[in-house]
Structure 1
Amino acid sequence: MYEFGWKDDQYDQLCMGTVAGHLIECSAQCTGGLFTDWQSEKWDNIGYPVVEVSSDGSFTLSKPPGTDGIVNFGSVAEQLVYEIQDPGAYHVPDVACDFTSVKIEEIGENVVRVYGGKGQPPTDTYKVCCTVPDNFASIVLMIVVGHDAAAKARRTHETILGRVQRILKRMGGPDFLETRFEAIGASHFDPNGDEKTATEVVAKVGLRHQDKRPIMLYKREAIAAGVSMAQGTTSFGGPGVDGKVSEVLRVFSLVVPKSSLQCEVVVDGKRFPVAVPTAGGFSASASSRLTSLPAAPPVGELERVPLLRLCWARSGDKGNMANVGLIARRPEYLPILRHLVTPERVKAYFAKRVQGKVKRFEMPGIGGLNFLMHEALGGGGMATLHSDPLAKTFGQVLLLMQVEVPKAWGLGSSASKL
């Protein structure tokens, strides 16, 4: 704003400035970090992003010459959909951004131009993030190997938990507030998989209690698993492996009126009031104004392929919500994606992990679909006992989904490349 003299009501420019910050805030995630097409690059000396902004708000995104990583449409589009809710109303204090209109264009090797974002007046509230103490929690890890590895791991946990619960009952103490068992390696994340075929798993047990001592009791009882329960049970060797019992800080969010707060700049201990606009003016999400976009079933001879063949994807968290953004690799894939990958199908696909509703948003500027999944992270962030507290795996799991597409597209098992 200072360099170009942008005013606080030049919302399109403020939107594009926000887009630039959104793309580069997570270091190399737009220059090849976390990229779906990981085989196409190296990470040894990955280049960090360089943004050059024009006075109209459009900008180029690149990386230093001679560095590893990659900058292309897919790598940057993936980061655009990272950790967002409604892309038609991405709220920051100065502007309500419309990401649905953002376009990304490759203009050279490892250089893209980003443009087209639109802005609206912001809301009259600030977002506030608060933390409150929420009891104690810890994680216990065991390795179980052999036939029926997942079933043996589950019985091991149930046996230890039963022992501890009986002890607590005799002592008149309260039960655990929450326990969570996960057999990592037994298709825990993959809805297509079958845990019965797993021959090696990491048994991950999450425990929450109002007191540290019952959690420590479970950890002590778990030592017996290596000598008196399932054969093939072992622990992670080395110091510092077993997690400590920690006090949990749960995050919750709210909004407060901008007019209720006074903004100040503090320099050398002196406070200087700063006048900022508080009236707001945001009307409605740009998503509500999108016209109906075409959806079409596949026709002709069909074959089943994973979504990976049709899309790039990236996922992230928003509190207790997870989002997955899908970006079509080719424009002709998008109508079929709209037909096949519906909110209802995504909800059913993630049935073990998502307890709330799933909503789909369009992002026509990049040919994308953003899925927002509510109650997906067991409380999210620091409070959850889930193995994926920040929803990092959801995108890769969705790309495993099998869909039927025209065989003429050549995306089946014989395809030489994506």
Structure 2
Amino acid sequence: MKTVRIGAGQGFYGDTPDGAVGVAERGDVAYICCDALAELTMAVLQKDRMRDAGGGFARDLPAFMRALLPVTRGKGIRIITNGGGMNPVAAAAAVRQVAGELGIDGLRVATVSGDDITTRFDELRARGAELRNMDTGADLATIRDRTVFGVAYLGARPVVEALARGADVVVTGRVADASLFLAPMVHELGWRWDDWDRLATGVVLGHLMECSGQATGGNFSGDWWNIPDLDRVGYPVCEVGEDGSALLTKPAQTGGRVSVETVAEQLLYEVLDPHRYLNPDVVADFTSVRLEDSGADTVSISGVRGSARPDQLKAVIGYLDGWLGAAMIGYSWPNALAKARHAALLIDRLAERAGVVPLEQVTEYIGIDSLHGDAADLGAAADANEVTLRIAGRFATEAEARSFPRLATPLALNGPPFIGGGSTPQAARALLGVWPTLVPREHIEDGVEVVVDEVAR
């Protein structure tokens, strides 16, 4: 039976390339898939593109290519990445540049574009796509004059096309995380686009691998203290058969752990409805998944059921949503929390007197309630050794956002007893809001383009 081995190379923008290199050197894989994107990441990359038309892709992509290409080229391993972000064309050019600098001739780099709908909002609405906020039902008209970007989540098909055209590296924009991993399975194993159970298996595996070390012991909430050598954690590797049988493991001689427990925890990560996990290629039923330990650091995945893909694609629209102004001050024992609370009261009074009132405000006491909110045990916090007050506000103008944290600076001498910890004003930052919506898939897929270029001296 034909099989294919696929490795994970990246779980987020800013991840280390060490895990990907470990997969390339010791994973015995034919493909490495790198997932660099999240909805927040798209907003960050759009800010980059607004500052520089040549930016907008993951800035660590060249570093990944410098680390990976010398290994993958010699072994014939193909790389798939959505690190193209908001500018896959520029990202692919950066990959070719790195290959040229490394003296790698003949590398075929594919660019997948068409997910960017930034200039198409009015056209899409004219074609019948309402683009309403899928959480609130609000009309896009309420933010239309403030929209700055939009992307639709593509599936595996254009990546499969790129692989069929001989691409060694595939650079995409917003392709759904799991679809990056599904694509080489479809390409190598000949799965049909209506073989919902096999496609669902591929999506489950992609979901297990998209967050790099989270499936191999990273971020594990069980006996995390017993996970060996997380400083050199092995990223996940899957072996998939054409019948949909699958194993999840990691490269030999790497840290971490692959067990039913670590895999099950990742399976449930970021899942709204486990009966209907929506992906552009298939709807997967995560409740049908069977996990079994199958040897050292190996888990078998079976029983996955799927149903027909959705008629619509998810899209995310980013819009200007004001400016962030934030102030932070640290206080120490005794009465650290009481000091921080009184400082927050003083800042509120100063802001009101100055007429600098946020549209929204968050006041948190780091070390006490910034993670647990109202569930925090304030009784136990009464004798805390140290507390950092953080007050963050959303303002209509940059000037207000800049002036707000300065109100807190005098409290270094004019407020409760203060011993260091950050009274320096933080720079104002533009805020981008995220607007989730749905688009009929035909409106997007008819504009997807795959271009393959070859590196030559």
TM-score of the pair, normalised by structure 2: 0.54
Distance 1:159 1:215 in 2: 18
Alpha-carbon deviation of 1:92?
A: 0.9
**CA offsets per residue over residues 89-141 of structure 1, 9 Å max, x none?**
11111111100111111111111111111000012111111100001013322
Alpha-carbon deviation of 1:251?
A: 0.7
**Does structure 1 conserve the Cα–Cα contact (< 8 Å) formed by 2:284 and 2:306?**
yes
Structure-2 residue corresponding to 1:135: 322
Counterparts in 2 of 1:310-329, with a 5 A limit? none
**Does structure 2 conserve the Cα–Cα contact (< 8 Å) formed by 1:137 and 1:207?**
yes
Structure 1 stretches of 4+ moved >4 Å: none
Alpha-carbon deviation of 1:179?
A: 1.4
- Identical-pair percentage: 33
**Does structure 1 conserve the Cα–Cα contact (< 8 Å) formed by 2:326 and 2:393?**
yes
Structure-1 residue corresponding to 2:400: 214
Distance 1:214 1:31 in 2: 46
**Does structure 1 conserve the Cα–Cα contact (< 8 Å) formed by 2:336 and 2:386?**
yes
Structure-1 residue corresponding to 2:4: none
**CA offsets per residue over residues 298-334 of structure 1, 9 Å max, x none?**
xxxxxxxxxxxxxxxxxxxxxxxxxxxxxxxxxxxxx
Counterparts in 2 of 1:240-259, with a 5 A limit? 243-259=426-442
Structure-1 residue corresponding to 2:232: 45
Q: How many residues align?
A: 261
Point out where structure 2 has 5 or more consecutive residues left out of the alignment: 1-185
More helix by share: 2
Distance 1:219 1:263 in 2: 46
**Does structure 1 conserve the Cα–Cα contact (< 8 Å) formed by 2:245 and 2:302?**
yes
The structure 2 residue matched to 1:151, chosen from 338, 359, 364, is 338
**Does structure 2 conserve the Cα–Cα contact (< 8 Å) formed by 1:30 and 1:79?**
yes
Is 1:203 matched up with 2:386? Answer: no
Distance 1:161 1:144 in 2: 18
TM-score of the pair, normalised by structure 1: 0.59
Distance verdict in 2 for CA 1:55–1:268, change over 3 Å: closer
Alpha-carbon deviation of 1:45?
A: 0.9
**CA offsets per residue over residues 252-295 of structure 1, 9 Å max, x none?**
111111233314333269xxxxxxxxxxxxxxxxxxxxxxxxxx
**Does structure 2 conserve the Cα–Cα contact (< 8 Å) formed by 1:225 and 1:233?**
no
The structure 2 residue matched to 1:182, chosen from 364, 369, 384, is 364
Point out where structure 1 has 5 or more consecutive residues left out of the alignment: 169-173, 270-418
Distance 1:138 1:61 in 2: 45
Is 1:167 matched up with 2:351? Answer: no
Distance 2:325 2:289 in 1: 42
The structure 2 residue matched to 1:74, chosen from 247, 254, 261, is 261
The structure 1 residue matched to 2:209, chosen from 14, 17, 24, is 24
**CA offsets per residue over residues 353-390 of structure 1, 9 Å max, x none?**
xxxxxxxxxxxxxxxxxxxxxxxxxxxxxxxxxxxxxx
Structure-1 residue corresponding to 2:194: 9
Distance 1:131 1:192 in 2: 33
Distance verdict in 2 for CA 1:75–1:181, change over 3 Å: same
Alpha-carbon deviation of 1:161?
A: 2.5
Counterparts in 2 of 1:294-333, with a 5 A limit? none
Question: Which residue identity lines up with residue 176 of structure 1 in the other structure?
Answer: P
More strand by share: 1
Structure-1 residue corresponding to 2:411: 225
Structure-1 residue corresponding to 2:450: 266
**Does structure 1 conserve the Cα–Cα contact (< 8 Å) formed by 2:326 and 2:404?**
no
Question: Which residue identity lines up with residue 401 of structure 2 in the other structure?
Answer: I
The structure 1 residue matched to 2:299, chosen from 112, 119, 124, is 112
Q: What secondary structure sits across from 2:407 in the alignment? A: helix
**Does structure 1 conserve the Cα–Cα contact (< 8 Å) formed by 2:325 and 2:429?**
yes
Is 1:93 matched up with 2:280? Answer: yes
The structure 1 residue matched to 2:420, chosen from 213, 234, 239, is 234
Distance 1:155 1:129 in 2: 40
Structure-2 residue corresponding to 1:362: none
